[in-house]
A and B are shown apart, each in its own frame.
Chain A
C-alpha cells in the first residue's frame, strides 16, 4: 500500500504517542522508587536506595511473594493439563456442540472477574468448608485454563493433521505418535501458554480477593492492602518497581519462544 508522506509521519507520531502512553507511567514508578520524597512529588527531590533496602528485608512482602509463587505454580500445572486436553479435542475433531464448548472455555475471561469471584466464594464457603490456599489455586486455574487452551488450540489448527497421519501410516501407534510427533510440535505453545497462565495467576487480584482465606495474602493483595497507607507508600512503590523490572524475564522467554518457532 502506498502512503503519502504526511500519512506516514502522522502514523509514526501516533505510534510514538501510544508507546509513550504505555511507558511513561511505568518509567515514573521505577524512578520514584529512588525518590527521597515520601509523597512522590514530581519532579523528584533527591536520590536514595533506602526504600529498596527496607523492602528487601520486609517479611510481609517475602511471605506474600512465596504464596503468590506457589499458587501460580499449581494453577499453571492444572491449566496446562486441562487446557491442552480440551485444545486437542476441540481443534482436531468435529463434533456436535463444539462451538458451544469453545464458547464455554472463553467464559471465565469474558465474564467480569468479580462475578467469577463471588460465584466461587459462595460455592467454596457452602460446599468446600471455607477458603484456603487451595481455593485460590482452584479459582486461578479456572481462568488460566483459557490461555493454555487458546495457545495450544491455535497451534493445533495451524499444524493440521498431516504429521500425525504420516506417523501413523508409517506404523506408529497413537501413543508413540503423541510422544514423538505431536508433543514436540506443540511443546512451545504449551510453554508459551504456561508462561501466560503463570503471569496471569501471579498478578490476579479480583478473583483472589474472594477466594483467599483469612491471612492468605498474595502479593497483589499485599499491595492493595498497603496502597492507601501513606507510611507504606515508598515500600509499595519499590514492590511495584521491582515487579516492572522482573516482568522482563517472561517477556524475554516468550520472545525467544516465538523466534524458535519461526526458525
Chain B
C-alpha cells in the first residue's frame, strides 16, 4: 500500500483528526496571537507604570481600575460612548428597515441586484474618505450643510457630537441594510398573505409579522453598528471637535500610560461581551 492511500484510510477513519488538522493553523493564529495579545493587554492593566519613563513595571496594582471607576469624567465618557453607539444603531435601523423592505418586497426582481449593488458600493469606498466627505460637508464656513440649511433659517451643527453620530451612521449604514435585507427576502410570501387575508392592513402586518420575524437580522446588523461605533476614535478626531469618546481616551493614554489605557480599553470589551451574550440567544450570530 502506498503512503497516500494509507493517509487516506487514516484520515477517513478519524473525522476528529480531520477537524483538528483543518483547525490547527487558524486556531493557532487566533488563539495564540489574537486572544493571547488580548490577554496580555488585560494583564498589563493590573501592572504599574514608572511615571517618569512611562515604562511598564510588572507589579500588581488595582490603581488603574480605581482611577477609571472613581473618576466621574471616565464614567461620563463611557455613558456618552454607549449613548452615541446606541443612537447610531437606532438611526441606522430606522433608515435601513424601510430601505431593506423596499429592496426585498417592493422593488421588481430585476431592480433588486442593482439596489443591492448601490447599497454595497460605499462599503468599498474608504473609511477615511467617507469621514473626510462629511468633514467638508459639515464645515461651518462654506460647507454644503450650511448652504443647504441656511435658506431654512437653520445653522449647520458644525463639528461635535451630532457630526460624530451622523458620520458613524453614514459609515455603518450598509452593515445594517444587508442583514435586514437578507432576513426580509427569506420571509415566505404565504405568511404575509395569511396576515392580510386575516384582515391586517399593511402597517399592522409590518409591525406584527415582518418586524418580529426579521428581528434576528436587525440585531445582527446592530452588532456591527454598535461595536464599530463603540471603539471609534478617528471619526471622533475628524468630526468631533472637542467631543471625546472612550476610544479617544485610550488613544491619548496609550503611549504614556499603557496599563491605564488597557484598563479603559476593557470597558468597550466588557460592554461588547455583554451585548454579544445577550443577542446570542436570538440566533443573531448565525445571521452575520
Contact = CB atoms under 8 A, between A and B. Distances in A.
Interface of A: 1-4, 7-8, 11-12, 14-15, 17-19, 21-26, 28-29, 32, 39-43, 81-83, 85-86, 88-90, 93, 95, 101-116, 118-123, 126, 138, 141-142, 145, 149-150, 173-175, 199, 202-206, 210, 220, 223-224, 227, 236-237, 240, 243-244, 247-248, 250-251, 254-255, 258-259
A145 B101 contact: no
Nearest to B132: A240
B22 A174 contact: no
B272 A110 contact: yes
Contact of B132 (A39, A108, A120, A227): A227
B41 A122 contact: yes
A1 B11 contact: no
Given A101-B27, A115-B41, A243 B125 contact: yes
Contacts of A115: 38, 41, 231, 250, 265, 268-269
A255 B33 CA distance: 34
A250 B272 CA distance: 31
Centre residue among B19, B170, B223, B238 by max chain A CB count within 10 A:
B19
B105 to A, nearest CB: 6
A29 B136 contact: yes
B172 to A, nearest CB: 12
A12 B132 contact: no
B88 interface: no
Contacts of A11: 98, 101-102, 106
Given A23-B118, A111-B272, A123-B40, 19 more contacts: A11-B98, A82-B26, A101-B27, A112-B228, A112-B230, A112-B272, A114-B232, A115-B38, A115-B231, A122-B37, A199-B124, A206-B231, A220-B128, A227-B238, A237-B136, A243-B125, A244-B126, A251-B124, A255-B113
Contacts of B99: 14-15, 18
A25 B171 CA distance: 11
B66 interface: no
Contact of B265 (A17, A26, A118, A227): A118
Tell me the dominant secondary structure on chain B's binding face.
helix
A106 B8 contact: no
26 contacts: A3-B106, A8-B106, A22-B119, A24-B144, A26-B133, A28-B144, A32-B136, A42-B142, A85-B25, A93-B19, A102-B285, A103-B285, A105-B26, A110-B227, A112-B227, A115-B231, A119-B38, A142-B33, A203-B126, A205-B127, A210-B254, A224-B128, A227-B135, A243-B125, A247-B125, A247-B126
A12 B117 contact: no
Interface string B99-141: 1011101110000010101111111111111101111110101
A32 B129 CA distance: 13
A106 B196 contact: no
Nearest to B265: A115
A56 B73 CA distance: 46
Centre residue among B5, B121, B247 by max chain A CB count within 10 A:
B121
Given A40-B136, A82-B25, A111-B269, A206 B33 contact: no
Contacts of B18: 89, 93
Contacts of B11: 174
A108 B234 contact: no
Interface string B15-28: 11011001101110
B48 to A, nearest CB: 15
- Enumerate the 5 nearest inter-chain pairs by beta-carbon distance, A residue then B residue, closest first: A112-B231, A41-B142, A25-B133, A89-B22, A247-B124
